[in-house]
Amino acid sequence: MFVFKQGLKNQDYLHHLYSIFNEYSASAPKSTTSLPNPKTGKCYTSFIFYTYSLLCFNDIYNMFYISGKKVIPVNIFDLLTPIRRVGLAYWIADDGSWNKVNKYVTLCTDSFTLVEVQQLIEVLNTKFNLRCYKTKSGNNFRIIIPSYSIPTLRLRELLYSHIPPMMKYKIGL
């Protein structure tokens, strides 16, 4: 079973994901409100839906999770390619953020080891010619897709027709 959850701001994106997975889901997205945040005291509204637990999802899960821990598959170099650029588009849509001031994309890779982050950087730089680098975030690392990799001939052109329209802001559009 996969769980898809997005905050109120990205409700349209969650409905987009549901349109892809609705045949594998028992019900449409529902809103949910969190308990008060311990630091801010605020409650947050999210939208969530679940897929069925299906054997066809097991191979995907087993590639990306070992003993319940999220990992980078050893064959990521084969999985993430310019021909399969939709994978990069959805990765940015899910885990990316746009820095308006410095005009770069940050990929939140906090749950991965340094070795895994370096492996992802190698794939992005080699397969997509992006010149990415890592930056420290607390005890973890994140990937930066720098401003000189964003212009039309690189990231934007590569992903424009693949990233969901409501998430194009994550590549500065």
Average pLDDT over residues 158-170: 92
pLDDT digits (tens, 9 = 90+) for 10-47: 999 999 999 999 999 989 999 999 999 999 999 999 99
CB 80 within 8 A of CB 89: no
Instruction: Judge whether residue 60 has pLDDT over 90.
Output: no
Q: What pLDDT sits at residue 1?
A: 85
Return the number of other C-beta atoms located less than 10 Å from residue 121's C-beta: 21
Strand partners, 105: 98, 145
- Give the distance, in angstroms, between the CA of residue 98 and the centroid of all CA atoms in the same chain: 13
Q: What pLDDT sits at residue 153?
A: 54
The whole-chain average pLDDT of the chain stands at: 92
Average pLDDT over residues 72-95: 89
Q: What pLDDT sits at residue 152?
A: 54
* Domains, the chain, ordered by start: 1-53 (no CATH), 70-173 (3.10.28.10)
| Cut 0.75: pTM above it | yes
Beta pairing, strands 65-66 & 45-50: unpaired
Instruction: Tell me the two tokens of residue 162.
Output: 């693949």
CB 11 within 8 A of CB 47: yes
- Alpha-helical (H) ranges within the chain are 11-21, 55-64, 76-79, 85-95, 114-128, 157-159
Those residues whose C-beta lies under 8 Å from the C-beta of residue 129, and which sit 6 or more positions away, are 149, 154
Q: What pLDDT sits at residue 173?
A: 85
66 — phi, psi (to 5°)? -125, 120
Q: What pLDDT sits at residue 83?
A: 76
Q: What pLDDT sits at residue 163?
A: 94
Q: What pLDDT sits at residue 149?
A: 85
106 — phi, psi (to 5°)? -110, 130
Q: What pLDDT sits at residue 155?
A: 84
d(CA 71, CA 111): 8
